[in-house]
Amino acid sequence: MSPDELGQLAGLAVLGLTAGFLAGLLGIGGGVLLVPAMVLIFGFDQHVAQGTSLLVIIPSAVLGSYTHQRNGRLVVRDAALLAAGGVIGAVLGGVFALSIDDVLLRKLFAVFLLLTAVRILWPRARRNDAPAAETAGE
Amino acid sequence: MSAREPAGVAGPAQVPLRASFLSLAAVGAAAGLLSGLFGVGGGILMVPALVLSIGFRQHRAQAASLAAIIPIATVGALVFGRAGSVDLAAAAVLAAGSLLGVQAGARAMHRLSDQRLSWIFGTFLIVVALAMLIR
């Protein structure tokens, strides 16, 4: 193994550490940081970055879920129903992603991130408009 | 209303909101589609959808989302792996780093309020999106 390859693996370990911390903090899988970093910093193809990201996400999600569960935040029924629809969507989304060009996929990814960011910073007003949904049954 | 729920209130009897089968499965399907399409977990869609559309509190939404990501990402990784689009060596190193980081992150989350988590979540995504577009 060459020094370059070792250096890249060391860099990937640091990236993993950072992504894992944010995943645990934000309750996401961390892929949203992993994919851009693998592409922008480490020069991965978009497709390989995405496939690798999905694999990396799994153990982090398992550990993070265990921690939430121990802290009494996890409602198993919620997760099971989300997953029931989720696995079907994952197959469809993956097959489609593999069918399109690498550069196009990267551009789509960037747009997806921007839309997501805008949408998440928006909800404050809507939340205040609809306090009933937030407090129902509490 | 206190800013923080007391410990040990999450038993089934205390779970306030019982979301419908269809609404949860639909949110999951949309998240799965995004997950397979973009190689992310799908929490980015699930957490806001659960909070805004179904009315979950931020912490409950994040816990459910993270657990649902396990089967969703597994299926997605299999689809990409069959096409040769998974780098196993990179995945092993990234995963090792992630496992060390995720515990610290989850612990830090318990010290943050719901509002602050939303703010951090949104700001974090803006930064990543801009980095991708600047390239």
Question: In this complex, do B38 and A138 lie within 8 Å of one another by their Cβ atoms?
Answer: no
Distance (Å) from the C-alpha of residue A99 to the closest C-alpha of chain B?
10
Q: Is residue B102 over pLDDT 90? A: no
B119 vs A75: which has the higher pLDDT: A75
Nearest chain B residue (CA) to A123: B52
Per-residue tokens: B48:
């806001």
B5 vs A26: which has the higher pLDDT: A26
Question: Smallest Cα–Cα separation from B11: which of A67, A73, A65, A79?
Answer: A73
Rg over alpha carbons for chain A, rounded to the nearest Å, is: 18
Per-residue tokens: B134:
């600047």
Report whether B54 contacts A110 (CB < 8 A).
no
Interface with B, mutate which of A8, A18, A32, A42 (most B CBs under 10 A): A32
Give the tens place of pLDDT for each residue, A109-132: 988 888 877 766 765 444 444 443
Q: Residues A48, A81, B96, B116: is their CA dihedral positive or negative?
A: positive
Please give the mean pLDDT across all residues of chain A: 82
| Amino acid residing at A27 | G
CA angle A114, A48, B84 (to 5 degrees): 145
Is the ipTM value over 0.95, yes or no?
A: no
Q: What is the pTM of this model?
A: 0.79
Q: Is residue B10 over pLDDT 70? A: no
Distance (Å) from the C-alpha of residue A42 to the closest C-alpha of chain B?
10
